[in-house]
Amino acid sequence: MATVTFRGVTRRFHGTTRNAVDRFDLEIGDGEFLVMVGPSGCGKTTTLRMLAGLEPVDSGSIHIGERDVTNVPPKDRDMAMVFQSYGLYPHMTVEQNIGFPLRTSGMPKAQRAVKVREAVDLLGLGELLHRRPGELSGGQRQRVAMGRAIVREPQVFLMDEPLSNLDAKLRVQTRTQIASLQNRLGVTTVYVTHDQTEAMTMGDRIAVLNHGKLQQVGAPQELYDAPANEFVASFIGSPAMTIWSTRLRGGMLDLGGASTRVPDTVAQLAGDREVRVGLRAEDFAVAADGETGLRMRVDLVEELGSDGYLYGRAALPGGELPLTVRVDGRHHAQIGDTVTVLPNTRRLHLFDAATG
């Protein structure tokens, strides 16, 4: 087992004008399940491939434990990677596929059989030993790919969107299985996904990337409660945070006619200025009759039983604000209604327009 440390890791592809990965710094703890998340093209795969040694590092360094592996070939890094495509050999059985890395490393047959048996039991693949990949479901193939990584007993597991070929239901089941397997094995794992729900449910910590840059790293709840910038705020959490521009003047925030005193943490930004503010759906409340607040026209009602969401628009001086409000399951709002909502200004997030 080992820690993984990225220091200023940068990669620019030939013929491009921007770094695909830009001065990436991250320390991953021994045994940690670290999820890297971000939109397509943000540099997740490139980062993982640099860690695996499959992609050169232009500047910066990568350490596993104390060891500088920046220029060490992939086979000497003691890592196992699980890809989205699984990369199983179609002509080999499940048993042969899982045992393959051990065979190429020259492990004797009897010892190999023991290791394969252990992995197969761990993954519940016992019945399928003699089948070929073509005779397996997507979920079973995914587990065989996991098995092939496990038998090597690597210091680090690398997984690049390993669930993206599974249907939605199986994806949910499998993510729980992978998380609990990682927990039992205690092997440092770097897991890449573009899906924020997957990240939130699986990771000990989550590293959010955008445009090749690390935006924030923290526990799921930390990212949800204290996003470092507007990108993280809008990427993490479902439904997305409502974020808008407004004026802050003498400690008062203009909320579409109604003016609200903001907490001291926000009000310390003195003067009269434009600010970007954000609020989670659960931090709006539907007002009682006669109360003043944001007037919202309801476009869509999502019922989830115990609660639900209203999606709508409020007219603000700067234009229409699309907003999402969580409501109790017993609400009566319907499409086309106008409801008054009250922002809980104590829960307001403030973003710097420059870094957002």
In the complex, the residues that contact ligand ADP under the rule CB under 6 A are: 13, 16, 20, 38, 40-46
User: Can you tell me which residue has the tokens 């999820």?
Assistant: 35
Q: Are 314 and 321 in contact (CB under 8 A)?
A: yes
Q: Rg of the chain over CA atoms, in angstroms? A: 25
Cα separation, 71 vs 47, in Å, equals 15
- Name the binder of 220 from ligand ADP, Mg ion, none, CB < 5-8 A by kind: none
- Name the binder of 104 from ligand ADP, Mg ion, none, CB < 5-8 A by kind: none
Q: Are 12 and 18 in contact (CB under 8 A)?
A: yes
Nearer to ligand ADP, 164 or 334 (CB): 164
Tally Cβ neighbours within 10 Å of residue 197: 15
Q: Are 151 and 102 in contact (CB under 8 A)?
A: yes
Q: Which stretch binds Mg ion (CB under 5 A): 38-46, 57-65, 238-246, 280-288?
A: 38-46
Beta strands (DSSP E) in 49-167 are 59-64, 67-68, 79-82, 156-160
Nearer to ligand ADP, 40 or 306 (CB): 40
- Name the binder of 43 from Mg ion, ligand ADP, none, CB < 5-8 A by kind: ligand ADP
Cα separation, 81 vs 101, in Å, equals 12
Nearer to ligand ADP, 87 or 250 (CB): 87
CB of 179 to ligand ADP, least distance (A): 21
- Name the binder of 20 from ligand ADP, Mg ion, none, CB < 5-8 A by kind: ligand ADP
Nearer to ligand ADP, 209 or 279 (CB): 209
Q: Per rule CB under 5 A, is residue 46 in the interface with Mg ion?
A: no
Pairing of strands 59-64, 4-11: antiparallel
CB of 49 to ligand ADP, least distance (A): 8
- Name the binder of 276 from ligand ADP, Mg ion, none, CB < 5-8 A by kind: none
- Name the binder of 40 from ligand ADP, Mg ion, none, CB < 5-8 A by kind: ligand ADP
CB of 293 to ligand ADP, least distance (A): 40
Q: Per rule CB under 5 A, is residue 45 in the interface with Mg ion?
A: yes
Q: Which stretch binds Mg ion (CB under 5 A): 5-13, 16-24, 42-50, 269-277?
A: 42-50
Pairing of strands 188-193, 33-37: parallel
Q: Are 129 and 98 in contact (CB under 8 A)?
A: no
SS3 234: helix
Nearer to Mg ion, 4 or 20 (CB): 20
Closest CA to 59 of 20, 28, 33: 20
Binding site for Mg ion (CB under 5 A): 45
